Amino acid sequence: MKHIFLVMQQQTLLAQFVASVNSLSIAANRCGQRGMRNCCHRSNHSLIRQSNKKHRLSVCCQHRSFSNSPSITSSIAAQTKKKMAAEYKLKNITSLTDIQNFEKAESEVEGIEGAKVLVLRLYNEVHAISPRCTHYGAPLKIGVIQPDGQIRCPWHGACFNIRTGDVEDAPALNALHTFDVYEKDGGVYIQGEHDAIKAGQRNPNVACTSTVISPEKVVVIGGGSGTLGAVQTLRELGFKGTITIISSEPNLPLDRTKLSKALIADPKKVEIRPREWYQSASIDVIQNEATAVDFSKKVVSTKSGETFPYTKLVLATGGIPRRLPLPGFTELSNIFVLRFITDVQAILGALGEEKKNVVIIGSSFIGMEVGNALSKNHEVTIVGLEKVPLERVMGEEVGKTCQNLLEKSGVRFKMSASVDKATPSSSDPNKVGAVHLKDGTVLPADLVILGVGVRPATDFLKDNSVITLEKDGSLKTDESFAVPGLNGDVYAIGDIATYPYHGPGADPDGGTLTRIEHWNVAQNAGRGAARSIVHSLSSSQPLKSQTFIPIFWSAIGKQLRYCGSTAGGWDSLVLKGEPENEKFAAYYCKGQSVVAVTTMQTDPVMVKCVELLRRGNMPTKQEIEEGIDVLALGIPKNIRI
């Protein structure tokens, strides 16, 4: 009997080992599909071989089949999932052959109220996925399918792998569900779990219950989009070391884009992940202010006196709003900037319940978004230096269209104007009462909001002897967002990073150095830094960076979308559509090359152009002028930047 028991035990362990290897093969393939073939999964095969003698199989956090024990949890989970999956008929699709290559069809699911899936064809493959982007819920049925097996959201450019559902590009953080789809008895069916079909998205697997087995320590300074992109990607790729976020903000990382667009004051409504998410991922969030970095000793010092050692450091401190060094603006109250949740709370507190005179100084995106948000209940005047709002970035024609849009909502503009001073209120000498322009105009003001730009939040590094800040206070990085000269141990992302851009219009040799203050760019930079960190732990060879096309958006009564970069300059604009009806696509050109595109109410033109720009297949200026339809163009397989 003892002999039989030992044989059975050996057979069980062998089965566990085979199951684990199969699981890891799947994981490695998934990572390969995402362009991450050098991630931690590849090295885990050797970990299995080394650990098998003790029946201890160490696998990364994302796809572990075993974790420091001989359990068969993963195998049981897989069997349970299979048992829980059920068959559901699709209401609106009767044959898969009706769906042509690169076409999509959305369908309701019988037996699940309100549930839908998206069925699409990629060459000879037919896939069924969750139908809406996990960022803001855009319908993927009008998204753009790419020949390398991805689908891009039509609103803000989030990208998903159609085979796995995984996120490939910001700003989405949650993945899609994928389902088996097939024909049967004259109908089309999917195989899936009820809750998964209903939910339409899945959280990333970041669970990591123990970090004691790794000496690696990643410290991230900052609490914005780039930070969340970095820490989530680290755990998704199987990083098992400690992760510490040091942020001076009183809240967890939040969706900062909603602050200026909707003036939401409750942090719980805009925090992207709850505290429990960070706890499950073994990510420590420390509310503190970084005051110095010793790059030689690899230690971060903080305002409280605590120090944090690191093996890898990610600098993601964002920007500091600029203020006006003019009379009255430094001493009077009710003059605000808008960057943090505390700024929103202060602004709303000053506004109160009654209609107020609000003067917004600055006619770029923050000023325009806040003006739009406040125009429903207050008298709003926007003051700008340019001839029209957004002129420097968008050009005069697009800027004028945006101005007209806000004027329809009651916003007044004083353009080509310079501010002279602020004077106190007649009822309270400590509060602002008016803004004076240099042309003599006096604007009544119960409160003033400054939207005059931000500067990199790098004051704590300005006297550091190891690194040199750029003239604007930013840090120069390479394509992987690593700071040169620090052995690949320090990264800078987001508003503080000046990095080489390689898109259309950039220097064809080394790229054009640029600093971009976009939510989407920061998150993608964080993802890129995380990939580089994980890769460096298993390989001495450099990781090929994944270049992305910058994307941003603005809510000014209508949604304004933008992709590309004019860092290398632009000399002409081709405007197509009906700008008088706020429905257009504008193409920014350098010679015959289109380098950037902005759109309004023409989805999915912007995201289609993202792929055409990324793959070097964007039409020329002349072709755009002659009326070529970018939505009718095919997308080549090869990525050229």
d(CA 19, CA 13): 10
CA angle 641, 29, 35 (to 5 degrees): 15
pLDDT at residue 21 is higher than 50: no
Q: What local confidence, expressed as pLDDT, does residue 426 receive?
A: 96
Q: Token digits for 545? A: 């960076």
Q: 447-450 and 335-337: which strand pairing?
A: parallel
Contact 358, 446 (CB under 8 A): yes
The length of the chain in residues reads 641
- 42 pLDDT tier (thresholds 50, 70, 90): very low
Q: What is the mean pLDDT of the chain?
A: 89
Query: What number is the average pLDDT over the span 248-259?
Result: 96
Contact 173, 272 (CB under 8 A): yes
Contact 455, 473 (CB under 8 A): yes
pLDDT at residue 33 is higher than 90: no
Question: Domain 335-452: what homologous superfamily?
Answer: FAD/NAD(P)-binding domain (3.50.50.60)
Note the pTM of the prediction, 2 decimals. 0.86
Q: Which of 45-59, 102-116, 461-475, 596-610 has the lowest mean pLDDT?
A: 45-59
Contact 360, 378 (CB under 8 A): no
pLDDT at residue 184 is higher than 90: yes
End-to-end CA distance of the chain: 65
Taking only the tens place, the pLDDT of each residue in 480-500 is 999 999 999 999 999 999 999
CATH architecture under which domain 551-632 falls? 2-Layer Sandwich (3.30)
pLDDT at residue 513 is higher than 60: yes
- 212 pLDDT tier (thresholds 50, 70, 90): low
**Strand, coil or helix: what is 415?**
coil
Q: What local confidence, expressed as pLDDT, does residue 27 receive?
A: 41
Handedness of CA 328, 332, 333, 337 (dihedral sign): positive
- 16 pLDDT tier (thresholds 50, 70, 90): very low
Domain pair 217-319+459-536 / 551-632, same fold: no
| Domain extent listing, the chain | 2-77, 86-199, 217-319+459-536, 335-452, 551-632
Contact 530, 40 (CB under 8 A): no
Query: What number is the average pLDDT over the span 189-215?
Result: 90
300-307, Cβ contacts within 8 angstroms, sequence gap of 24 or more:
300/219, 300/221, 300/246, 302/246
- 197 pLDDT tier (thresholds 50, 70, 90): very high
pLDDT at residue 83 is higher than 90: no
Taking only the tens place, the pLDDT of each residue in 337-348 is 999 999 999 999
Q: Which of 20-34, 377-391, 614-628 has the lowest mean pLDDT?
A: 20-34
| Class in CATH terms, 217-319+459-536 | alpha beta
Query: What number is the average pLDDT over the span 547-568?
Result: 95
Q: Which fold has domain 86-199?
A: Rieske Iron-sulfur Protein (2.102.10)
pLDDT at residue 271 is higher than 50: yes
